[in-house]
């Protein structure tokens, strides 16, 4: 590590990752790809857990070109299918005795009203429930050390959509609002992180959250394509002021995953205006995200919806980093 100013933390500050294994969901493009590449360059063995394995293989080849000695693997994962999540977890358990970093990055954004193969609203089911289940199935592979991390990627958009309605996550009793549904799925990422952190034992793995700010990724461009022509034109003009490259957008995720000074239950994002761009720092999420009763309700509901429970060591109130 270079020992540079923490206010200007970059990928050069990532400690050596030799001997460590990182699983990154959605790592074939955007933030996930840049996260995987940076970790591979620092010596980690990385697993690209992706829905499209052909794209995953191309991403793995690109990472290997940048880091010729890197060990990069591709694992199929469809987070919108709990059966696929189980299969993926089983494959990873067969292949690895330990996983040091689980980075829950993949997601869908502003989709029309669709459902997962299990019948849940697509954005919630993919962005939150799939990652909830994957984490539960892999958590006991993380060594009992604060260097072991579950990093879940949320979004500044978690503030959108008003209060989350846990009684109607599938939008059956109200008109579907894809922007609100996305915001609620990203809020769920934070509620999950904070509740998981509270349940993890002292001295064990950390649960941390991060968001990339305004990253110029395929997902953000696809989401903007649903907007009006006027909105797209206006946004194109201000894009350079609000967005940063995927490489820069990955920095909050990388800091959450590797900085030895990070503590469980923290949230990292860009330090610039409206947390849209800039070097990564610890930030605050919305007041709703810190509602412990909401966190516990979502946890119980997620276990019920997924049919998957966390290992017995993750009990309520085992530890708090507050």
Cβ(121)–Cβ(48) below 8 Å: no
Q: Could you tell me the strand order of the sheet in which 72-76 lies?
A: 72-76, 45-50, 21-25, 101-104, 149-153, 206-210, 267-270, 280-282
Please classify residue 153 by burial: count the beta carbons closer than 10 Å to its beta carbon, then call 0-12 exposed, 13-18 middle and 19+ buried: buried
- 3-state class (DSSP) for residue 145: coil
The residues with which 81 forms a beta bridge, in sequence order, are none
Cβ(154)–Cβ(127) under 8 Å?
Answer: no
**What is the distance of C-alpha 96 from the center of its chain?**
21
* Closest-CA residue to 184 (of 104, 263, 121): 121
Active site residues: 182
Task: Please list the helix, strand and coil fractions of the chain in percent, rounded to the nearest 5, in that order.
Answer: 45, 15, 40
Structure tokens at 164: 């989350």
């Amino acid at each position: 590590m270079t020992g540079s100013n923490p206010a200007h933390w970059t990928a050069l500050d990532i400690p050596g990752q030799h001997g460590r294994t990182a699983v990154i969901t959605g790592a074939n493009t955007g933030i996930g790809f840049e996260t995987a590449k940076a970790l591979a360059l620092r010596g980690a063995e990385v697993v690209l857990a992706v829905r499209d394995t052909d794209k995953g293989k191309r991403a793995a080849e690109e990472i290997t070109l940048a880091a010729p000695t890197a060990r990069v693997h591709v694992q199929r994962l469809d987070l919108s299918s709990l059966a696929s999540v189980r299969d993926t977890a089983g494959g990873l358990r067969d292949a690895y005795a330990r996983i040091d970093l689980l980075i829950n990055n993949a997601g869908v954004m502003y989709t029309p009203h669709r459902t997962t193969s299990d019948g849940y609203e697509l954005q919630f089911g993919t962005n939150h429930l799939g990652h909830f289940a994957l984490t539960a199935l892999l958590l006991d592979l993380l060594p009992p050390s604060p260097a072991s991390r579950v990093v879940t990627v949320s979004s500044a958009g978690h503030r959108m959509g008003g209060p989350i309605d846990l009684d109607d996550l599938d939008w059956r009793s109200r008109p579907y609002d894809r922007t609100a549904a996305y915001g609620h799925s990203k809020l769920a990422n934070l509620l999950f992180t904070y509740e998981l952190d509270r349940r993890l034992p002292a001295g064990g793995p950390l649960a941390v959250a991060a968001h990339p700010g305004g990253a110029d990724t395929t997902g953000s461009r696809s989401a903007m394509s649903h907007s009006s022509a006027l909105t797209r034109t206006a946004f194109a003009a201000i894009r350079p002021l609000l967005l940063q490259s995927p490489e820069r957008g990955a920095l909050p995720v990388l800091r959450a995953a590797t900085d030895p000074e990070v503590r469980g239950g923290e949230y990292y994002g860009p330090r610039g205006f409206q947390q849209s761009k800039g070097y990564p720092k610890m930030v605050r999420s919305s007041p709703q995200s810190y509602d412990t009763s909401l966190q516990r309700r979502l946890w119980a509901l997620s276990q019920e919806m997924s049919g998957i429970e966390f290992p017995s060591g993750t009990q309520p109130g085992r530890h708090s980093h507050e």
